[in-house]
Amino acid sequence: MKIFNTKFIAGIIIVLLGVLTLLNNFGYTDISLGSIIRTYWPVILLIWAASLFKDLFAGFNQGRNENVSTSWGQLISSLVIFVIGIIFLGRNLELFEADLSLFWRMFWPVIIIFFGISFMRGKTISEGGKGHWAFMGGIEVGKTPFDLKSGNYYALMGGIDIDLTKANMPKGKTMLDLTAVMGGIDIIVPKDINIVCEGTALLGGIEFLKESTGGIISTKKMENIVNDDNRVIHFQTRALMGGVSIKQSNG
């Protein structure tokens, strides 16, 4: 087990909080747990930033980060989270004063702008592509055999489950545009199909087989080409405070 593993560090912090609470309950200490949490909660942001930095540099060392926009997105997310953590921690410890009102006035408009740009950059679904909406509800596709066609899927505070193992795959490229806003989209794909995924995550996460991306702002292109068949499923994914997961079937 690696000592500097972020999950291990987080576990140590949780254990220490539990021990402190236990000692307080039996009168061995007189330390305000609430005060500690209010003061040091930004450490969580620093641990998160450290984890993103670690994944980013690990990707460079293993040659995974070939997409420049992906690297910049992960780097920006890491730096923003790190700076926010330092600002909040320094203010809580009274090391300096910081007025964050300007930051919050800019934060959400910038997130919305980036989300709009991700739509503009996406490839247009060909005519005939249908739109499927899950608004505070759920959609399930693939319980029975069906013909796969290009289309758009939107999960707005809802969930969409798509099983492509029973789909009749057309020749050529099939475009599936997936958008999760405070919701989730889960896709299961067969192992013998070629798939490409272009993803943008804003305060959310995208998981593609064994790869993933997430953070404040993150973009990534991933692909899994398994044969010379011209059948390809091209996923365009975006997640705003939500998640998109694409996994292979176990069968």
Longest dimension (CA), the chain: 71
123/126 Cα distance (integer angstroms):
9
Please give the C-alpha separations between residue 143 and each of 165, 177, 208, 244, in angstroms, as whole numbers.
9, 20, 22, 20
188: confidence class by pLDDT, cuts 50, 70, 90: very high
pTM for the model stands at 0.65
DSSP for 194-220 reads: EEEEEEEEESEEEEETTEEEEESSEEE
Window from 19-23, 60-64, 159-163 with minimum mean pLDDT: 60-64
pLDDT over 70 at 122, yes or no: no
Q: What pLDDT does 63 receive? A: 53
Most confident of the following: 9-23, 44-58, 62-76: 9-23
The residues pairing with 220 across neighbouring beta strands, listed in sequence order, are 199
Helix (H, G, I), strand (E, B) or coil at 159: strand
Angle ∠(215,86,10) on CA atoms, nearest 5: 60
Closest C-alpha to 141, from 74, 182, 189, 102: 189
pLDDT tens for 77-111 read 778 788 888 988 888 888 888 777 777 787 778 77
- In the DSSP assignment, the letter for residue 34 is H
* Residue showing tokens 């292979």: 248
Tokens of 34: 């609430």
- In the DSSP assignment, the letter for residue 144 is S
- Is 157 in contact with 184 (CB distance < 8 Å)? no
